[in-house]
Structure 1
Amino acid sequence: MSSTAPPRGPRRRAGTAAAKVRIVDTVPGRGKRVALTFDDGPDPVHTPRLLDVLDAHAVPAVFFVNGEQVDRYPEVVRRIVGAGHVLGNHSTRHDDMARWPAARVEADLRETRAAIARAVPDAAVPWFRAPYGAWGGTPVVAAGLGMASVGWRLAVTDWEPPGVDELVRRLCDGVTPGAVVLLHDGGGDRSQTVEAVARVVPVLRARRWRFVLPDGGLGRS
């Protein structure tokens, strides 16, 4: 990513249209339940390493993928799905769509869905997340395409890597029951994120946390 590109972290900007459609940021159910989600992939290096970590601990996750990255690395997308994780639509090129007209948003989301279908024809894509968290009217369009919009309760700013120890601290201290957690496997060097997840998952499991999907499903765990 060039130095002139905007940071790929969240900027919450919910418009009036978004308010008409619920943006999921917690998982249903009670107790220590948390959902891990990863944006901006697939990445040819960091996503496979992250998949190794998740597989070792039988943790389900959602990968919100960009269509251009899917076309570049379809084999990584196939591995995500083959490992039992779920895909989300995160736009084609990670553009800010908050002020786009509905027709343009729909065309973009359909383009991403087509890229996913080329990589894994039978994969379900039940969820959408707006780039930068700039929702505008995108949740309404996504709903019309059969996708629920997923936000987050905890973002640890891993798009500006603060060091593994700090990411671990932010995750362990910041997690709350039912939270959807925003992390990144693409869009830059995500080695710190991968290492932090590898360290945090056993800690949270020891504290009796359960890793689920945004709909409350337990996936493989």
Structure 2
Amino acid sequence: MKKDQLLTRRGALFAGAAALGAAGTAGAVLWGTGGGQAKPPAPAAGPQASRPLKPSAYRLQPLTGYGPPRTTPGRTLVRHEPFLKMSGRGRTMVLTFDDGPDPRYTPHILDTLAEYDVRAMFFVCGEMAVDNQDLLARMADEGHVVGNHTWSHPLLTRMTRGQIRSEMDRTSDVIEDAYGERPQWFRAPYGAWNRAAFQLGAEMGMEPLAWTVDTLDWTTPGTRSIVHRVEGGAAPGVVVLSHDAGGDRSQSVRALRDYLPQLLDSGYHMTVPRRRTA
């Protein structure tokens, strides 16, 4: 794949992309070309944690923590649920990778995406990004979208508002320095959202994005198991959750090499969401 075939950070990464219109509701993000709105699937509730989690205890069962509705004036609407999938035209899917970047695995994932000229989303942790800023720069150069996944991957529902703000703001600063843009998307660790996270994310100009299909790769279930989950869950608008850090992600790397060409051969288009004005 020639490098001049890829989007560049300074040239076309966010061409035509702007803020999502207020017409979008929680559950589905509209593609830039428009399209109908899909009903969001209900997220699977995981077990509640009995004690605060250490930042290193990354791969536990995702939690749900949706807060009550709340709106405040501002450029970004404050939502009370994250987007769970995309709506729009065609057989489009979104691949997302959490917790990196990790120099052991992220470059291999980027290589595979580049081989097939595919864009993806990377929700990065600040403590990983600060030591691997070259990988964020590469993501920008190759047209990927980088989102905020907090600094140390904590359980936000057990933190104060000030602590949450610090986790998010520090990570946005690192992303801006290395990637060239402040993030427009945010994902809560463990899928544990609360009202403060939604409010603070909106204040920082970020929309909340969850997922439709969890590969459960953090459990290291085997490459074939990951592939089967992705292929079995494939459908228009699906957002796939995988990881490129937080443990041994060699299975995730191998699985991507397997399922990506198969999805493309099946007529799916891997893309990234673009925020737009109404």
User: Does the pair score TM above 0.5?
Assistant: yes
Structure 2 CA distance for partners of 1:78 and 1:87, relative to 1, 3 Å: same
The aligned counterpart of 1:97 is 156
1:207, 1:6 → 2: CA distance?
33
| Aligned with residue 63 of structure 1, among 118, 122, 127 | 122
Q: CA deviation at 1:6?
A: 5.2
Residues 64-213 of structure 1: pairs in structure 2 closer than 5 A: 64-120=123-179, 122-137=180-195, 138-213=197-272
Question: Structure 1: where are the runs of 5+ without partners?
Answer: none
Q: CA deviation at 1:99?
A: 3.5
| Aligned with residue 13 of structure 1, among 54, 58, 65 | 65
Q: Which has the higher contact order (CA 8 A, sep 6+)?
A: 1
Deviations 1:25-76 (A, max 9, x none): 1112033211001000000110000000000001111100000001111111
2:222, 2:231 → 1: CA distance?
14
CA contact (8 A) 2:67 2:80 kept: no
Partner AA of 1:208 in structure 2: G
Q: CA deviation at 1:100?
A: 2.5
CA contact (8 A) 1:26 1:214 kept: no
Tell which deviates more after alignment, 207-216 or 181-190.
Answer: 207-216
Partner AA of 2:104 in structure 1: V
1:52, 1:9 → 2: CA distance?
29
Partner AA of 2:190 in structure 1: Y
Structure 2 CA distance for partners of 1:27 and 1:201, relative to 1, 3 Å: same
1:92, 1:44 → 2: CA distance?
17
- The number of aligned residues is 214
Partner AA of 2:63 in structure 1: R
- Identity over aligned residues, as a percent? 36
1:140, 1:176 → 2: CA distance?
31
CA contact (8 A) 2:215 2:229 kept: yes
The aligned counterpart of 2:109 is 50
TM-score, scaled relative to structure 2: 0.72
Structure 2 CA distance for partners of 1:124 and 1:117, relative to 1, 3 Å: closer
Partner AA of 1:134 in structure 2: A
1:207, 1:156 → 2: CA distance?
19
Structure 2 CA distance for partners of 1:216 and 1:136, relative to 1, 3 Å: closer
Structure 2 CA distance for partners of 1:17 and 1:106, relative to 1, 3 Å: farther
CA contact (8 A) 2:173 2:182 kept: no
Question: Structure 2: where are the runs of 5+ without partners?
Answer: 1-53, 71-77
1:10, 1:178 → 2: CA distance?
21
Partner AA of 1:196 in structure 2: A
Structure with the higher fraction of residues in helix conformation: 1
Which secondary structure does the structure 2 equivalent of 1:11 belong to?
coil
Partner AA of 1:16 in structure 2: P
